[in-house]
Structure 1
């Protein structure tokens, strides 16, 4: 029995029918590499054999009575692969638009909390001859790094090679605790919280003082609650829109080398800013001040807290959407991001996780209902415009249950007030961009995906030639 960390549990508490807290992905596979040939039945058998040996795929939630503490993970004694694996076919002509529409529909359906919090859908009928796999995992059980690791354990370096070893997966206890045991553990946990709170107040106060000093010196990261408003910065609905883009990783690296002090992530953010500028300007919705992005940062390997899946922090970054020149935008982003990283590195890696321990289901649930019901996201200050995440990917070809992965598009959650998520993953020489947004606010999200390609070419021409 493992209790969810406060940060893991907060994604459960923040969820509603509109604000869905799962992360998705779309894998495009080449079925011709599967030893013995591809068939859905063989895919199903191979997947079932593999996930039954991986505890993270078989654990489900067990709530604590009266919700006085975070839920715990227990093994699903009735695990059935057919509750998690589905089969679909895209309608004719089977192109990107049809695939994106089907994936967007599935992304708008919540996961069943009475089962392990993941699903996969095999999608056939693509005109390219490829097979797509749509994955959905709740954020309570994965973050960017751990989600990529869970997919990796189903992958290999050759079609007929054994799966990758990405580290031991903690076993899930077969013991299912009773209500009295959970209640006792929950009471003990709550008794200790006042002391934990006192212990955290002093370093947090010191941290705030140093942040104010950095702000005065001009070396602090961008501040939340200072973002301009756009069409996708209001209340969201449960309807989703999805689009994909493929960028040349070699061109991105050439741009990085051409700009002193820049990083690949700086280039990605600059391309994102330029793409958003193009998209919003074409719709007369471009603010005069820069859009503000929330950029998740992994603290895996830095956190001293044991247990829990989500080990992340956040950097806020201005995207330079108010700057027309792509080279000037990149230069300013690189400078600002250097300050933001230094500021972030001065913050203890465990800060967000420690404060999240005080997350309360009733309080979070009430807050979400208030934001939605009173439409506070449309009236108050905008915290941030969107989330942009860069997830490290494999530098070599990978095979998913024997099928070569041609592309992997990650898709993160969206929130009231920030109805767009852009997540990128590098893989075998390409940068795959997954965009997901509220369909009612971003009905033309495919146009935004095209702007990413156009902005890369413009930035490449301006820096490399």
Structure 2
């Protein structure tokens, strides 16, 4: 799965994810933070992350997956940059700067991450003057959402003056592998891959049987996985990005669960996004009759895999209820559909779905990803889903970097052909954020979509304040019993 993100890397579709993090330096010693303080703080904590000093080494002809090595030429100052916003320094300016930074691909001959420190945030509502931001970028091959949180832990402390724990041993760089040795090793692994595939298929068989049984008994349906309508977001992407986001009270998000019995916090977020898309596409005269769907990543990272690199995720596809105008009905619909989608994912086994991806031949995967982009197949292939909504829980308590208190966080996503809009839902202390990354060509008006998300949230809050009742459950259609004669026939 990590290698698939390397294979998908294109100039118009860099495969990195990241965040916009905002800090209040008044909690730091002296009440301010200098750029050199940030460099020194990061330097003291490099040993807490396995990711920060490792780079990719590709196998000749893509005969095998790339390998990670400890970079012998690691240079911290290359990865941490410094800019300032011109006056007035508002939220929209920060988003524009983040979009420009995020549009540029990472250098994959170095450890695949960058952090840009941004000063001049003097006109953002709720942000103290003198605050600064960090715009982070890290290649998706190195982290998923949960390992990204582990990386956040490495670069933050629970108190402003916490010292870095000492390293258990001195860091030692690796020697760059010989290309011929990598080729021979990849050649051997290519011959062994069929045996690995057989083992994975054997482990997956019980899950596939449970999935087939669930389809026969109508416990869940494949319709949600194959019914995504084509929209303006299911096209080849341009190299340019837009980013935006909204912040909500986490207590309000939790309260909205009362509008649908058994509803989860994630269902509320999905319904807000569905309502935002309903408003946005209606305004553009492009609202499909059927619901847009979202691919929702699911972490399968075990406790023992914390702080490890790479991706341990599976996914389920859920409808967003974008075709439903009423907010309460939309939330009930989303909840019902997520229960069905989760049942199917549980039947197959999320972990087994991830394991199956690990035996894809590296060469064919790389060629397939490149052909998909170069032939423009996103214009012709039916989209498997309309957008991505990934939910990443953040710290429930305040955290600090270089002594400065983090006051907000918004996630950023990579896009690829056929997927021109992605959302990141995050929680931090008492707030929740919905941030989105979009292709600038597919969404030239990100502020308007941000307003649509805010209005969708307001619709739900208005329904809650008005005491709206959950919609009555529809009775399931009764299956007709076959007569003995028809059975015999």
Instruction: Calculate the TM-score normalised by the size of structure 2.
Output: 0.87
SS of match in other structure, 2:356 = helix
Alignment CA distance shift 1:273-1:403 (3 Å): same
1:205-235 C-alpha deviation (Å, 9 max, x unpaired): 6644543443340523654342111111111
5+ residue gaps, structure 1, are: 1-6
| In the alignment, structure 1 residue 71 sits paired with structure 2 residue 66 | yes
SS of match in other structure, 2:434 = strand
| In the alignment, structure 1 residue 232 sits paired with structure 2 residue 226 | no
Shift of 1:394: 1.2
The answer to whether the 8 Å contact 1:58/1:116 transfers is yes
Measured on the aligned residues, the alpha-carbon RMSD in Å equals 2.6
Structure-1 residue corresponding to 2:473: none
Structure-2 residue corresponding to 1:28: 22
**Distance in 1 separating the partners of 2:342 and 2:44:** 43
1:31-180 equivalence runs, <5 A? 31-36=25-30, 37-51=32-46, 54-128=49-123, 129=129, 130-162=131-163, 174-180=174-180
Alignment CA distance shift 1:43-1:224 (3 Å): same
Alignment CA distance shift 1:283-1:462 (3 Å): same
The answer to whether the 8 Å contact 2:204/2:348 transfers is no
The answer to whether the 8 Å contact 1:221/1:339 transfers is no
**Distance in 1 separating the partners of 2:381 and 2:55:** 37
Alignment CA distance shift 1:308-1:156 (3 Å): closer
1:51-105 C-alpha deviation (Å, 9 max, x unpaired): 2553420011122233221111111112111110111111222111111111101
The answer to whether the 8 Å contact 1:303/1:311 transfers is no
Alignment CA distance shift 1:306-1:163 (3 Å): closer
The answer to whether the 8 Å contact 2:61/2:363 transfers is no
1:128-277 equivalence runs, <5 A? 128=123, 129=129, 130-162=131-163, 174-202=174-202, 204=204, 207-216=207-216, 217-220=218-221, 223-277=224-278
The answer to whether the 8 Å contact 2:211/2:348 transfers is no
| In the alignment, structure 1 residue 8 sits paired with structure 2 residue 7 | no
**Distance in 1 separating the partners of 2:321 and 2:279:** 12
1:127-149 C-alpha deviation (Å, 9 max, x unpaired): 24220100000001000000111
**Distance in 2 separating the partners of 1:95 and 1:305:** 36
Instruction: Calculate the TM-score normalised by the size of structure 1.
Output: 0.92
**Distance in 2 separating the partners of 1:232 and 1:274:** 16
**Distance in 2 separating the partners of 1:307 and 1:405:** 24
Alignment CA distance shift 1:55-1:304 (3 Å): closer
Shift of 1:295: 0.3
Alignment CA distance shift 1:163-1:290 (3 Å): farther
Tell me how many residue pairs correspond in the alignment: 458
**Distance in 1 separating the partners of 2:151 and 2:180:** 33
Q: Relative to structure 2, which stretch is displaced further, 48-57 or 151-160?
A: 48-57
Structure-2 residue corresponding to 1:3: none
Bigger radius of gyration, 1 or 2?
2
Shift of 1:175: 4.8
Shift of 1:33: 1.4
Structure-1 residue corresponding to 2:335: 334
Alignment CA distance shift 1:445-1:424 (3 Å): same
